[in-house]
Amino acid sequence: MQGSGGPGPGLSYYLGSKVSNQPLAMEAGAAAQLEAAIRTKAFDDKLSLSLGGAGMSKFAGSPVRSGGYRVTTDGIAIVPVGGLLLDRGAWLGDYGGYMTSYEGLAEQFKKLAKDDAIKSVVLDIDSGGGMAAGLFDLTDALEVLKSKKHVTAIAANLSASAAYAIGCTAHEFFVTRSSTVGSIGVIIIHTSYQQMFDSAGIEPTIIHAGAHKADGNIYQALTHSARSEMSAGVDEIYESFVEHVAKQRGITAQQVRDTQARTYSGNRAVETGLADGVKNFDELLKYVRKGTGKAETSRKKTTSRKKGVRAMSGNQNENVQQPQPAANEKAPAASVPSVPAAAAASVPSVPAAAAAPLAPVAQPAPAAPSASDERSRIKAITGSDEAKGQSALADHLAFDTDMSVDAAKAMLVQASKDKASAGTNEANSQQAGLNNALAQQMADPANSANISPDSGESKKQSFADFAASAPANRKRI
């Protein structure tokens, strides 16, 4: 396929239409470079990209021309994930190393899941990330493949943002010594040419219907309301990203947030819990060939972290913290085999009275709720009868706290009683804290970019303003 160097929209136009003013799960430097390349039409020169060469940067195995991946003689499929990650694209494999399509990857996963000749899959990742749109549909497709085949991923040598979201979904994720992984965050880059036009005496006129139709256009400075809308969208995707990584890596959501979208290399990525070990590609193939994970396709990773040490089953290259016996227990013999379930069933139980008293055993901390459990909790609170007429408080309890459904309902009942007895506008008082929180968010230079709230006739109500206002005072937007 040739890049478009002649008349008509070229590749720069196509990429610009996909990523401009859109949330990107992409490393910030790569996103800025992409935006600059699009702006200067760097992609519009004629560019020869051969689909036949897509995904063929590794020499292991033989290329599967109809699949966009390679397969070794012992049934290991090597799937490339390289370059800019886009939601749509009717090709399989990374496109000459320049870009990879989520749509194409999902199709590859379907083919691999149905191919009995494939024993395991290796995702060969070298990407700074890409579009947020379509990303989590792809990771869902990868989960289906994981139920059929053992999937191992390697960052060779970059797996940032959306690419990390894909890599961490594998059963096991490895890095090379110099790999860079992480950048768990979401970014939107907006460019305004208003000052340049003002200096040149040019005044663009934008005629539109719908108050927010022109939000984010390049001819005007970004308004407070447009900034708020973009920030809300970024936050929503970020929370999904955090939940995804926490679930896949067996760490807490707060641990993911604490990375603050930093990147980590080699052993630091392992110590942080973002990777399982350090291997080069040849070492990884040997590891997969040993069948270390083939019988563990459905295994659940178990991790514990203390001072940067990560214990994980199935990883021979890491220090594993062994559980310590209780004070009144003897250390178990090192070579005592586990009792098979069938044999254990035939062992007579010991009466409770005859059993020696044991010291209380510390229980492990409860696991963080899954994304589906959290969604169910939120729905149960906001959709409850107790939430009727108190939507603001119900939203606060559901989204801004970890309160259980029963506790939230009890608080809603009490709030309703207090409101009736006091005869005051409870909704306004409930919103005071939310208004303050939103004001603080926009006061943060990282969020507001020194943009002042809209005023006068140009003032437009943002979604955040709408959500923060008392129900009786809300105006439709």
pLDDT at 273: 93
pLDDT at 261: 92
Rounded Cα–Cα distance for residues 363 and 368 (Å)? 15
Q: 255 pLDDT band (50/70/90 cuts)?
A: very high
pLDDT at 178: 87
pLDDT at 20: 61
Q: 399 pLDDT band (50/70/90 cuts)?
A: confident
Between 180 and 426, the higher pLDDT residue: 180
Q: 328 pLDDT band (50/70/90 cuts)?
A: very low
Burial category of 279 from C-beta neighbours within 10 Å (exposed 0-12, middle 13-18, buried 19 and up): buried
Please determine, for residue 183, whether its predicted confidence score (pLDDT) is greater than 50: yes
- The angle, 0 to 180 degrees and rounded to 10, between the axes of the packed helices 426-443 and 224-249 is 90
Please determine, for residue 53, whether its predicted confidence score (pLDDT) is greater than 80: no
pLDDT at 268: 94
Q: Report which of 187, 195, 236, 190 is spatially closest to residue 215, judged by C-alpha positions.
A: 190
Q: 70 pLDDT band (50/70/90 cuts)?
A: confident
Please determine, for residue 5, whether its predicted confidence score (pLDDT) is greater than 70: no
Please determine, for residue 265, whether its predicted confidence score (pLDDT) is greater than 80: yes
Q: What percent of the chain has pLDDT over 70?
A: 60
Please determine, for residue 431, whether its predicted confidence score (pLDDT) is greater than 70: no
Residue-range domains of the chain with CATH: 1-184+259-328 (3.90.226.10), 371-473 (no CATH)
Are residues 54 and 96 in contact, defined by beta-carbon separation less than 8 angstroms?
Answer: yes
pLDDT at 421: 64
Question: Which tokens belong to 322?
Answer: 């062994």
Q: Tens digits of per-residue pLDDT, 276-302?
A: 999 999 999 999 998 744 433 333 343
Q: Tens digits of per-residue pLDDT, 137-159?
A: 999 999 999 999 999 999 988 99
Please determine, for residue 68, whether its predicted confidence score (pLDDT) is greater than 70: yes
Can you tell me which residue has the tokens 């309703």?
A: 416
Range 294-316 average pLDDT:
36
pLDDT at 339: 43
Question: Which tokens belong to 357?
Answer: 């008293």
Rounded Cα–Cα distance for residues 79 and 68 (Å)? 7
pLDDT at 392: 79
Q: 121 pLDDT band (50/70/90 cuts)?
A: very high
Residues 6+ apart with CB under 8 A from 240: 136, 371
Please provide the average confidence, as pLDDT, over all residues in the chain.
73
Are residues 153 and 125 in contact, defined by beta-carbon separation less than 8 angstroms?
Answer: yes
Question: Which tokens belong to 10?
Answer: 């070229």
**Tally of CA atoms within 13 A in the half-sphere of 181 that contains its CB:** 34
Residue 76's identity, in one-letter code, is I
pLDDT at 141: 95
Please determine, for residue 88, whether its predicted confidence score (pLDDT) is greater than 60: yes
The secondary structure element, H or E, covering residue 305 is strand 305-306
pLDDT at 31: 75
Between 419 and 467, the higher pLDDT residue: 419
Range 360-368 average pLDDT:
54
pLDDT at 138: 95
Rounded Cα–Cα distance for residues 129 and 164 (Å)? 8
